[in-house]
Amino acid sequence: MLNQRMVNSRRRIMGLHIITSLLILVLAFRLGWLQIVEGEKYQSIANKQHTSDLVVPSKRGTIYDRNGKELAITTVKSRIWANPYLIDSPENAATQISQVLNMEKNDLLVRLAKEDTSLVSIARRVDDETVAAIKDLDIRGIWFVDDNERVYPYGNFASYILGHTTDDGLGIAGIEQSYEKELAGIAGRSIVNIDGARRQLPFNVEKTYEPIDGINLILTVDEVIQHYTEKAITSAWIEHQAERVIAIVMEVETGEILSMGIKPDYNPNTPRLPLDEATGIYWDSLTLEERMNEWYAMWRNPVFQEVYEPGSVFKVITAAAALEEGIAAPGTKFQSTGSIDVAGTTIRSWRWYNPFGEQTFSEAVRNSDNPVFVQLAQQMGKNTLYRYIDGLGVGDATGIDYPGEIGAYMYKLSQIGPVELATISFGQSISVTPIQMLVSANAVINDGYVVKPHLVKEMMSESGTMINKVEPDQIRQAISPETSKQMRDILESVVSEGSGSQAGVAGYPIGGKTGTAQKVVNGRYETGKYIASFFGFFPVDDPEIALLVIIDEPKGDKYYGGEIAAPVAGDIFREVIRYMDYKPNFHENEDIKKNQQEVIVPEIREMRLDEAYEILLENLLKGQLETKSASDHRAMIVDQFPKPGTTVPANSNVILYTSYDENLATLVVVPDLVGKTIREANTILSTQELVLKITGSGLAKEQVPEAGTLLEPGSLVNVHFGP
């Protein structure tokens, strides 16, 4: 019996040893697995638990116009963070902080009472005064870091060029998106070691990695020309109740975009607000996904991301190809009977009821006679015509430094029959983007050279060091200089004698081509819906400025390009010519001299606005109101430009400044800007809620209105800068 007990005892002891040994082996294996195989993983978790790591945002680069005017800036505010582990009383903290920030206490308490995180965001973009008030509360576990806010000082101005950013500062449209990498910079970090109670270790040194600020961009855009462009298209948009009006001004030789206006437009400071009340009501009924689609549609830039049928403006391509191929010369005679039959389809001239009869090639371009262009295309054939279409830049996207650019919609060569070839010759059955049409038409008058358009001129560090300069890019030469000169002369006659006369500025040689196209809706030409356009350039002999104006779906009886688009181009040309100080070149023709007589600017200061308009009309001048909202005819003229006694061409604009308000306390005093730099002048005026209009560069030499004048907030102040 005793031996049996000893045997059983030994067995139990042996079993216990075996079990213990197995447990030790399992534990050793598990420990080895955790330390060796998953060691890095748990080391990372431990580091996170013992480390407080905050992102320090970089300052986004500033976007300037070509003269140094700030168009997009970053203001530095503060972001408030909290560590729930360190807050002694979440209830008391939520009560005090919510009162300062005007927040819901319960919402804040939920965040401050979290037990599964050591970092929660309390508020973003808080001003210095509010930060100081929260610091005075002396609540443990609350701290502050810089938080940047993107601001567009001029609201809707140039919004489709600039684009905008998300709430987190990521470029989502326009230049902000295409140059995101350069503008964004590199964020920094603030790292602190903490103990198990989430307290900073007493002998630990905080590590701070400073952010690298973004690069500043200098655009090719001229703020003054942009202003003139937007002013002209806004008037046209309102007058013709159009769906949209577009105007682009470009330097001929360099491809630099000097202005690009689109109406209607959105405010990049509030990019998710609808353009009007009706749209807002509609958006309220949409799901979030549907609303996002509407936002992206509103942000889409039609200059680069939408196509249209250009109509007769496209005839500059067909005409240039015909001249280059030797199919026609300026004096070649054509007989027009008002229509032409193409494979059983009748194609008519706009003046089919009274045919032009015999006309030269130059006259056919000036008359914009469709049957003549059909004949030219038939003689060239589809292969030759397409070779010039591609060569002059219509086929592919232009490559402009803007996100999301698309190319033209064109038939493949194999799909082109006699009718398609005929309609393409005068700008139908082919859809292009506005920038493609401008670039290709520009090549026709630029000695045949296709230039790549661009919006950014230079990249510059915060200290003012140039990092990169964008050089002009001539892609290829598509036609000869001789053909280009012939086209310039022909297109000058379109303005001086033809349908583009309302784009003319007497004394200045301007060329161009009008266009009117029936609009395509859902794949079909829609009755009563048109797109009016005008391509123009100046001066004719050696072009420097080219522009394209497009009016989409004008309402009313007027819809021809010569009627409504050419006048917009004329308004822009007139202001740009004056701004860039071009000298007139009057012809010997006495009628032109008579029409361009010079007049003396009268004294209209201290007159009522309605009286001033009458005086100006009597003196063959026009008034251009520059104050923000003083359209009331009781408004008093406080200043004018040019000054009284100045000799100017008849029909010139006189800039008027008014000062009228029921409550004079709403007016602001114009400061003295003489001797200031462009940046200083802009900063000073911004504080007074006034807008700077720049002429020249250097230091401020003179200003209109004078210092001390009372103006409405938002009014323009013209400042001339010089060496």
pLDDT (tens digit, 9 = 90+) per residue, 371-383? 999 999 999 999 9
pLDDT at 348 over 70: yes
Output the pLDDT for position 2. Answer: 55
Is 678 within a domain?
A: no
Window from 31-35, 46-50, 317-321, 413-417 with minimum mean pLDDT: 46-50
Output the pLDDT for position 434. Answer: 96
Is 602 within a domain?
A: no
- pLDDT band for 588, please (50, 70, 90 cuts): very low
Please say whether the beta carbons of 358 and 335 come within 8 A. Answer: yes
Output the pLDDT for position 34. Answer: 66
Window from 35-39, 150-154, 289-293, 381-385 with minimum mean pLDDT: 35-39
Window from 145-159, 229-243, 470-484, 682-696 with minimum mean pLDDT: 682-696
> For residue 66, what are the contacts with CB-CB under 8 A and spacing of at least 6?
218, 219, 220, 221, 222, 256, 258, 457
Specify whether 69 is located in the same domain as 33: no
pLDDT at 689 over 90: no
Is 280 within a domain?
A: no
Window from 57-61, 280-284, 525-529, 685-689 with minimum mean pLDDT: 685-689
- pLDDT band for 719, please (50, 70, 90 cuts): confident
Cβ neighbours around 295 below 10 Å, total: 17
Is 77 within a domain?
A: yes
Average pLDDT over residues 274-286: 87
Specify whether 171 is located in the same domain as 311: no
User: What is d(CA 100, CA 443) in angstroms, rounded to the nearest whole number?
Assistant: 61
Give the end of a domain, one of 152, 186, 218. 218
Output the pLDDT for position 630. Answer: 46
Beta strands in 434-544 (DSSP E): 449-451, 456-460, 466-469, 474-477, 511-521, 524-538
Specify whether 201 is located in the same domain as 339: no
Specify whether 313 is located in the same domain as 188: no
Please say whether the beta carbons of 322 and 527 come within 8 A. Answer: no
Give the bridge partners for 308, in sequence order.
432
Output the pLDDT for position 191. Answer: 66
pLDDT at 90 over 60: yes
Return the closest-CA partner of residue 511 out of 494, 531, 486.
494
Q: How far is CA 85 from CA 13, 47, 140, 210, 612, in A?
A: 50, 17, 10, 27, 71
Chain centroid to CA 569: how far?
Answer: 19
User: What is d(CA 460, CA 378) in angstroms, rounded to the nearest whole number?
Assistant: 52
Specify whether 352 is located in the same domain as 500: yes
Give the predicted TM-score (pTM) of the model.
0.73
Window from 255-259, 453-457, 515-519, 711-715 with minimum mean pLDDT: 711-715
- pLDDT band for 709, please (50, 70, 90 cuts): confident
Output the pLDDT for position 660. Answer: 52
Is 610 within a domain?
A: no
Please say whether the beta carbons of 176 and 162 come within 8 A. Answer: yes
pLDDT mean across residues, the chain = 84
Is 636 within a domain?
A: no
Give 629's Cβ-side CA count (13 Å radius): 7
For 106, left (φ over 0), alpha (ψ -120 to 50), or beta? alpha
Average pLDDT over residues 516-529: 83
Strands 691-696 and 653-658: unpaired
Please say whether the beta carbons of 469 and 494 come within 8 A. Answer: no
484 a catalytic residue: no
Condensed to tens digits (0 to 9), the pLDDT of residues 179-238 reads 999 998 887 776 666 555 445 555 455 567 777 888 999 999 999 999 999 999 998 998
CATH code for the domain of 137: 3.90.1310.10
Output the pLDDT for position 211. Answer: 79
Domain span at 27:
2-37
Average pLDDT over residues 276-280: 84
CATH code for the domain of 320: 3.40.710.10
Give the end of a domain, one of 559, 579, 599. 579
Output the pLDDT for position 246. Answer: 97
pLDDT at 536 over 80: yes
User: What is d(CA 317, CA 391) in angstroms, rounded to the nearest whole number?
Assistant: 10
User: What is d(CA 78, CA 80) in angstroms, rounded to the nearest whole number?
Assistant: 7
Specify whether 99 is located in the same domain as 29: no
Output the pLDDT for position 232. Answer: 92
Looking up tokens 């009274």, which residue turns up?
354
Question: By CB neighbour count within 10 A (0-12 exposed, 13-18 middle, 19+ buried), where does 389 fall?
Answer: buried
Output the pLDDT for position 662. Answer: 47
Specify whether 313 is located in the same domain as 462: yes
Output the pLDDT for position 138. Answer: 82
- pLDDT band for 629, please (50, 70, 90 cuts): very low
Output the pLDDT for position 266. Answer: 92
SS (H, E, C) 169-238: CCEEEHHHHHCHHHHHCECEEEEEEECCCCCECCCCCCEEECCECCCEEEECCCHHHHHHHHHHHHHHHH
Is 614 within a domain?
A: no
Specify whether 377 is located in the same domain as 499: yes
Window from 259-268, 440-449, 670-679 with minimum mean pLDDT: 670-679
pLDDT at 513 over 60: yes
- For the chain, the domain total comes to 3
Output the pLDDT for position 664. Answer: 44
Output the pLDDT for position 545. Answer: 96
Residue 99 tokens read as 């009162």
Q: How far is CA 195 from CA 48, 208, 578, in A?
A: 11, 19, 70
Output the pLDDT for position 353. Answer: 80
Specify whether 132 is located in the same domain as 169: yes
Backbone angles phi, psi at 67, to 5 degrees: -105, 10
Residue 200 tokens read as 């900073």
Q: How far is CA 130 from CA 14, 88, 427, 437, 655, in A?
A: 74, 22, 60, 52, 43
Give the end of a domain, one of 162, 185, 218. 218
pLDDT at 359 over 80: yes
Average pLDDT over residues 329-355: 88
Is 700 within a domain?
A: no
Looking up tokens 């961009």, which residue turns up?
217
Average pLDDT over residues 476-490: 95
Specify whether 353 is located in the same domain as 486: yes
Specify whether 207 is located in the same domain as 311: no
Q: Which of 78, 159, 312, 368 is catalytic?
A: 312
pLDDT at 330 over 90: yes
Average pLDDT over residues 294-322: 94
Condensed to tens digits (0 to 9), the pLDDT of residues 98-136 reads 888 888 878 888 787 776 676 788 888 888 888 888 888
Specify whether 12 is located in the same domain as 83: no
> For residue 509, what are the contacts with CB-CB under 8 A and spacing of at least 6?
492, 538, 539, 540, 541, 585
Q: How far is CA 657 from CA 332, 624, 631, 712, in A?
A: 54, 9, 11, 9
pLDDT at 54 over 90: no
Q: How far is CA 703 from CA 107, 232, 625, in A?
A: 52, 24, 16
Is the N-terminal amide bond of 418 cis, ω within 30° of 0? no
